[in-house]
Structure 1
Amino acid sequence: MNLPIVVGVDGSEPSLRAVDRAADEAALRGAGLRLVYASLWERYEGGLFAHDVDKPSEDVTGVDIVATAESRARRRQPGVRVTTDLPAEAPEYALVRESRTALAVVVGCRGRSSVTEALLGSVSVMVAAHAHCPVFVVRGSHDTQARSRARGRIVVGVGEKPTGSAAVRFATEEALLHGVPLEAVRAWRRPVHATTGHPLISGEPAHLYEQQATEALEEALRDLPEGLPVQRRTVEAHARDALVAASREADLLVVGARRRHGHLGLQLGRVAHGVLHHAACPVAVVPEPD
């Protein structure tokens, strides 16, 4: 079964940048591209339409939005087969359902400030939290522009369970497809009781935790294909902060998601949630097996 790349569209400029990314991914993978417009999207995102949608917002229909996205995708990647769907349901439910039969889902993100980004990016976060396949969140807005792919690097965060990491496998595949190096980052922190400044007390614990981080990196990367340039980096910091810093020099940041079961259902962990809101480049959230 040839699974497609699915992209959510709503007529906004961020969603059209997501179409660009999705079309490129489909072309690289020899996959089809599926454009999905959920008719209840305005309830979440408002009527901020891109210039490509050449109508007053009050006259724009779902058919117009999909037609504009389809035209853009065909111009960017003429060889990719494009299909469309306009389900009459909320976008997060439509895209999570689509994720069951997709190689990946791609969504845009409009977060514009620390105050409003959680609300404006709610669909993106919900899809990333519940999808059954990797989710690309193409960040970009008035003050957080999604950068063009000119950095030449895929960054992946190595988590607490490095063996068999789906995020590492996905990041490796992306690096190979795009012909760029892979950078693996493992953050570590010494416990509070090991932060004393006395060198006879603090030196050995710090060295121990850094060594454990190095070993975790080696374990995560032990099955990489030969010939792929790889940079290994351990950082003493919160994982979110280390990955956000690394994203400033990356084309894509890849993180794994071991979803937590709680009273609100499946939820992303703090690291994945944090980088979705603060990364300086597109983010791919990859479900990890339990």
Structure 2
Amino acid sequence: MDERSDRPVVVGADGSDGSLTALDWAAAEAERTSRVVRVVHASESGRRESYRPRTAAEDKPAGTAPRGAVLTDAMARVHRRAPGVRVAAASLPGEPSAVLVSESDDAAVLVVGSRGRGPISGMLLGSVSLAVAARARCPVAVARERAVSDTAAGAPVVLGIGETAAEDPAALFAREQARARGVPLLAVRAWRPPLPDVVIAQGSVPYDPLQVERASRRQADACVERVGRLIGEGSPAAPVRFRAVEGPAHEVLLRAAEGAAVLVVGAGHRGGRVPGLQLGRVNHAVLHHAACPVVVVPGTE
């Protein structure tokens, strides 16, 4: 059994438009996977409060609801989107990203909006969302500002295949997403031959561009085959397609994510104290620019 099988879908709520989208995504995810939704509001004033769902409520415009109403309205929204899903909620003291990262210890998946109430409204990704995606210890879903129903029926789950086994948790998460949604899984590996000066610096002389290209393609195919074996364990219920594509990884994944239900990528453990060090350039690119929701799955230590 998955060690997270009895853990909730945790979603951050602050009353912003981004958090409303996150609530919709969390409700749908909990409904697909038969989990509880835990709505969390970070309260920097230090008070700790718990709320029970109210029977009916209208959505409040972002920025108008007081703290208590944020949670009660959020719970009511989840109930309307997924009436059969159980919902719990809490207002916890602390800075939002720190509170949500702490919640990741006991979550199956943590859901945040792509933008919150931050002072720079034009940013493509809010600072809280980025910090949580970088530091959380469970998969983090960054929901986009579009309705859940906007995703076309049968849209695939797309997996970005990395270079090492540290990416395997992302592959397993993507497989379960495809199963739960009943859609195909498209696993994509981007590759490019190294530049001549890199090859020469590594001692591979004389430089033969054709051999270098073939070696790079073989390496990409080997990554695809390894992930294919991993995904194939347990007889996946949804069809799986694998593709090795030449090109910059962020461009390849952004193209593959167009029209996708969700894009799943792995993140390595890079160490350090600065939020964001866990995320590489490709992670940042897809989080900022992908047209669909993105799930970042932490790799193994």
Greater mean alpha carbon deviation, residues 96-105 or residues 242-251: 242-251
> 2:84 is matched with which residue?
79
| Contact in 1 for aligned 2:151/2:259 (Cα 8 Å) | no
Looking at structure 1, the residues matched to 62 and 177 of structure 2 have their Cα atoms a distance apart, in angstroms, of 37
**Which secondary structure state, in structure 1, belongs to the residue aligned with residue 225 of structure 2?**
helix
> 2:291 is matched with which residue?
280
**Which secondary structure state, in structure 2, belongs to the residue aligned with residue 262 of structure 1?**
coil
The gaps in structure 1 that reach 5 residues or longer are: 42-50
Looking at structure 1, the residues matched to 44 and 100 of structure 2 have their Cα atoms a distance apart, in angstroms, of 12
AA in 2 matched with 1:257: A
Number of equivalenced pairs: 271
AA in 1 matched with 2:223: A
Q: Determine whether 1:202 maps to 2:209.
A: yes
Looking at structure 1, the residues matched to 34 and 193 of structure 2 have their Cα atoms a distance apart, in angstroms, of 45
1:194 CA drift (Å): 8.3
1:3 CA drift (Å): 1.2
Looking at structure 1, the residues matched to 166 and 296 of structure 2 have their Cα atoms a distance apart, in angstroms, of 18
> 2:134 is matched with which residue?
129
The list of structure 1 runs, each at least 4 consecutive aligned residues, that deviate by more than 6 angstroms after superposition, is: none
| Contact in 2 for aligned 1:104/1:136 (Cα 8 Å) | yes
1:12 CA drift (Å): 1.4
> 2:201 is matched with which residue?
none
Looking at structure 2, the residues matched to 64 and 277 of structure 1 have their Cα atoms a distance apart, in angstroms, of 30
| Contact in 2 for aligned 1:146/1:282 (Cα 8 Å) | no
AA in 2 matched with 1:203: L
> 1:185 is matched with which residue?
188
Q: Determine whether 1:253 maps to 2:258.
A: no
Looking at structure 2, the residues matched to 39 and 2 of structure 1 have their Cα atoms a distance apart, in angstroms, of 26
Counting only pairs closer than 5 Å after superposition, residues 81-100 of structure 1 correspond to structure 2 as 81-100=86-105
Counting only pairs closer than 5 Å after superposition, residues 35-54 of structure 1 correspond to structure 2 as 35-40=39-44, 52-53=59-60
AA in 2 matched with 1:234: A
Deviations 1:121-174 (A, max 9, x none): 110110011111100000228xxx888221610000110104770000000000
Looking at structure 2, the residues matched to 263 and 77 of structure 1 have their Cα atoms a distance apart, in angstroms, of 38
AA in 2 matched with 1:95: L
Residue identity over aligned pairs, in percent, reads 42
Looking at structure 2, the residues matched to 222 and 194 of structure 1 have their Cα atoms a distance apart, in angstroms, of 34
1:52 CA drift (Å): 2.0
AA in 1 matched with 2:221: T
| Contact in 2 for aligned 1:107/1:138 (Cα 8 Å) | yes
1:56 CA drift (Å): 7.2
AA in 2 matched with 1:214: D
Looking at structure 1, the residues matched to 191 and 94 of structure 2 have their Cα atoms a distance apart, in angstroms, of 42
The gaps in structure 2 that reach 5 residues or longer are: 46-57, 199-206
Looking at structure 1, the residues matched to 70 and 241 of structure 2 have their Cα atoms a distance apart, in angstroms, of 41
Q: Structure 1 pair 190/54, CA: closer, same or farther in 2 (3 Å)? A: closer
1:178 CA drift (Å): 0.2
AA in 2 matched with 1:16: L
> 2:18 is matched with which residue?
14
- What root-mean-square deviation, in Å, do the aligned CA atoms of Structure 1 and Structure 2 show? 2.8
Q: Structure 1 pair 160/87, CA: closer, same or farther in 2 (3 Å)? A: same
Q: Determine whether 1:160 maps to 2:163.
A: yes
1:115 CA drift (Å): 9.7
Q: Structure 1 pair 91/55, CA: closer, same or farther in 2 (3 Å)? A: closer
> 1:48 is matched with which residue?
none
> 2:67 is matched with which residue?
62
Looking at structure 1, the residues matched to 37 and 62 of structure 2 have their Cα atoms a distance apart, in angstroms, of 25
Q: Structure 1 pair 163/104, CA: closer, same or farther in 2 (3 Å)? A: closer
> 1:46 is matched with which residue?
none
1:231 CA drift (Å): 1.3
> 2:222 is matched with which residue?
215
Deviations 1:94-138 (A, max 9, x none): 111111111110000128xx99426x5110110011111100000
| Contact in 1 for aligned 2:32/2:180 (Cα 8 Å) | yes
1:35 CA drift (Å): 0.5
| Contact in 2 for aligned 1:186/1:213 (Cα 8 Å) | yes
Q: Structure 1 pair 55/138, CA: closer, same or farther in 2 (3 Å)? A: closer
AA in 1 matched with 2:196: H
| Contact in 1 for aligned 2:16/2:63 (Cα 8 Å) | no
**Which secondary structure state, in structure 2, belongs to the residue aligned with residue 267 of structure 1?**
coil
**Which secondary structure state, in structure 2, belongs to the residue aligned with residue 249 of structure 1?**
coil
> 1:44 is matched with which residue?
none
| Contact in 1 for aligned 2:24/2:148 (Cα 8 Å) | no
> 1:101 is matched with which residue?
106
